[in-house]
Amino acid sequence: MFYFSVSMREVAFIKQNKEKWLNFEKTIYNNQFKNPDTLSSLYIQLMNDLAYAQTYYPKSKTISYLNQLASAAFQRIYRTKREKTNRFISFWKTEVPLIMYQFRRYVLYAFLIFGTFVTIGAVSAAYDDSFVRLILGDNYVNTTLENIEKGDPVAIYKSSGNFGMFIGITLNNLYVGIKSFLFGVFGGLGTGYVLMVNGIMLGSFQYFFHEQGVLWESVRGIWIHGSMEIFAIVIEGAAGLLLGASILFPKTYSRMASFKMGLKNGIKILISTFPFTLAAGFLEGFVTRYSNIMSNWLSVGIILITLSIISYYYLIYPHIVHKKLKAHVSTL
């Protein structure tokens, strides 16, 4: 149902189109369209309604509702229009980016939550000498201090074999990501907890190196794998927040129907992070250990390239795909 604070003109606009929108919404999510041309035609009507609302009621919540409905329609149109497209390729090339565009606000929420706790971790470490040991453990701190004295602050990444570290780190990061998503079932609070723990750990971790005067050495080493690893954790957190929101805020759907849609979209986002998690594990196991003998331009170059790739895929590419499909639909 619609709950809007609106003018009389907008009331009439909503009343006139409400039944059409709700029927279109049910049809979209139940995959009842047999004719893609019918879907395209109705989608164009929806876009006309959206354009009208944006022109005459720019502050109305109607715009948000129609935007979400339009994003869902994009995915259905793409599926019905594609020909001879490999399902695997279309998943990465179009389906995930469209989901990321539709739920981009959860990515923002995840970054804000994570960034807040990174700050808390750093500030806590700055004002409490025992905080770093509490978070990272005495063994890690003592070992790292010894490594710093030896002139190799990130020597801990050489403590085991390449392949063994790659497997161990990758499995752990996959576990963290899956847990972050599944914990979203607790209204998003569980996901928030995972983001909190990892954020505080990262903040205190980096402040520890700063305090020891080797922040740059740690950054150019750890972030070789950390760019993708940390970014993926945040995206997985966004998937968990989406899952939690689908339970708490079902909108016009039944709570179960909303949960199923949130679960389905969240799983797709989660799966999309796995290649980045694997890449981060590979870099941590096989590349980070050599950071102390790398030139600055090489280590910084790896960091910038990995960060650019994952940032482009999750933050920029979804807008490009959305824009292309919007242009495609307008020509139907």
Maximum pairwise Cα distance, the chain = 75
- DSSP of 151-188: T-TTGGGGSS-HHHHHHHHHHHHHHHHHHHHHGGGTTT
CA distance 43 to 187: 32
With beta carbons less than 8 A apart as the criterion, state whether 72 and 50 touch: no
**228-273 pLDDT tens trace:** 999 999 999 999 999 999 999 887 667 887 898 899 999 999 999 9
Q: Minimum mean pLDDT among 39-53, 70-84, 177-191, 251-265: which range?
A: 70-84
Single-letter amino acid, residue 288: T
With beta carbons less than 8 A apart as the criterion, state whether 283 and 306 touch: yes
Kind plus residue range of the DSSP H or E element containing 192:
helix 189-211
**How far are the Cα atoms of 33, 301, 314 from residue 48, in angstroms, in the given order?**
20, 46, 28
With beta carbons less than 8 A apart as the criterion, state whether 185 and 179 touch: no
Of the segments 117-126, 259-268, 319-328, which one has the largest average pLDDT value?
117-126
CA distance 324 to 200: 39
Residue-level pLDDT at 12:
82
Beta-carbon-side half-sphere exposure of residue 51 (alpha carbons within 13 Å): 8
Taking residue 125's Cβ as centre, other Cβ atoms within 10 Å add up to: 25
**How far are the Cα atoms of 154, 171, 180, 196, 197 from residue 175, in angstroms, in the given order?**
24, 6, 8, 16, 14
Residue 212, both tokens: 């020891």
**122-175 pLDDT tens trace:** 999 999 989 999 999 999 899 999 989 888 888 887 767 788 888 999 999 999
Q: With a cut of 90, say whether residue 19 has pLDDT above it.
A: no
